[in-house]
Amino acid sequence: MWPDLRLCDLLGIEHPIIQAPMAGTTTPALVAAVSNAGGLGSHGCATLPVDVLEDHVAQIAQATNRPVNLNFFCHAPPVHGPGDHARLLDALAPQYAAAGVAPPEAMPVPGFEPFGAAALEVLLRHPPKVASFHFGLPDADAVAALKAAGVTILSSATTVAEAVWLEARGADAIIAQGWEAGGHRGVFLDLANDPQVGLFALVPQVVRAVSVPVIAAGGIADGAGIAAAFALGAAGVQIGTAFITAPEAAPKPLHAAASALGRDDSTRISRAVSGRPARAHRTDWLDGMAGVTPAAFPLMYHYVGPLIGADAETHQFSLYGQAAALAPEGRAADRLAALVADAQAAFGRLR
């Protein structure tokens, strides 16, 4: 049925399709539905307080005994530069005034921390089949502890250099994330210059550079995209945008727009909301933020939070990718089944 079974064998899944972890959008119900349907359900846990993480792990365990993936961020703890607070209040003053909201007064504290001891402890007590990371990997001791507990480790690379770096530090498979992808780019080695490599160029070069299986991510939302990923040498795909409007996902204001209006050109990459490059629905507000130098990730959320919430028409911020228009509809299991069937049809056409 699939031309390459390395990922299915590694992860213990029927179909080499990973529903992407999406912090704030994935839910235990979505994760379980995808895993029960034979894919790999993934939960974006990066922003969850540890008690909520524990609760979600328990909910997932109740709903499925299939492999699942728990995902975390490994960003460098942010440094707030001297003068950043005043500079941002000054730059955003017209927007706070126009939106009728008070500017944030306090120096920001990060709303969430990089993967650390507390989350590691939860994973070691309840080891998932898979843990995946964005923005690099945890330290070597944490990676070794997870592997000793039987956890398979994945992480995203946006360049060949990042893929080689991840493999050398223990990643069991590499998610090659193209520029097309919705959400935050996983870029971590050259964040200042974000090299912006597209998926068609990235996947074959990563495949040549590493010996572990490669998973293609970014702009894949139908069977033709899945078949193309295998043709490029990938052993599987990770798909986010095609699941954001599943009824099991946490609803976001502009995600409905993604399914109704999402086109090839309806998103842009911006650092304006979090401080890191992320692909999101293109609004006048987001375009207008292009001139503002953001605070370090994730401190920028502190400054734009009041604006994003201020006006549902223009200020909502919603992450999704370039292939929203191709996404199947329905419940998560139906979407996975449609992707599987469409991929088989695409393989058939190519034969």
Q: Which residues bind ligand FMN (CB under 6 A)?
A: 20-23, 25, 44, 46, 71, 134, 156, 177, 180-184, 217-220, 238-241, 244, 319-321, 323
Of 239 and 286, nearer to ligand FMN (C-beta) is 239
For Cα atoms 159, 139, 295, give the angle at the middle one, nearest 5 degrees.
65
The single residue listed with the structure tokens 């349907």 is 37
Of 95 and 283, nearer to ligand FMN (C-beta) is 283
Of 22 and 333, nearer to ligand FMN (C-beta) is 22
Of 184 and 315, nearer to ligand FMN (C-beta) is 184
Of 57 and 220, nearer to ligand FMN (C-beta) is 220
Of 207 and 216, nearer to ligand FMN (C-beta) is 216
Q: Which long-range contacts (CB under 8 A, 24 or more apart) does 65-68 make?
A: 66/12, 66/13, 66/35, 66/36, 66/38, 66/41, 67/11, 67/12, 67/13, 67/35, 67/40, 67/128, 67/129, 67/130, 68/31, 68/32, 68/35, 68/40, 68/41, 68/42, 68/43, 68/128, 68/129, 68/130
Report in angstroms how near the CB of residue 141 gets to ligand FMN at its nearest.
22
Report in angstroms how near the CB of residue 322 gets to ligand FMN at its nearest.
6
Of 88 and 323, nearer to ligand FMN (C-beta) is 323
Report in angstroms how near the CB of residue 71 gets to ligand FMN at its nearest.
5
Name which of 225, 249, 188 is nearest 342 in CA terms.
Answer: 225
CA distances in angstroms from 79 to 72, 147, 231, listed in the order given: 20, 31, 42
Cα(226)–Cα(234) distance, integer angstroms? 9
Where does 112-168 have alpha helices with state H? 117-125, 140-148, 160-168
Report in angstroms how near the CB of residue 44 gets to ligand FMN at its nearest.
3
CB 96 within 8 A of CB 312: no
Report in angstroms how near the CB of residue 9 gets to ligand FMN at its nearest.
22
Report in angstroms how near the CB of residue 64 gets to ligand FMN at its nearest.
20
Q: Coil, helix or strand for 33?
A: helix
Report in angstroms how near the CB of residue 273 gets to ligand FMN at its nearest.
12
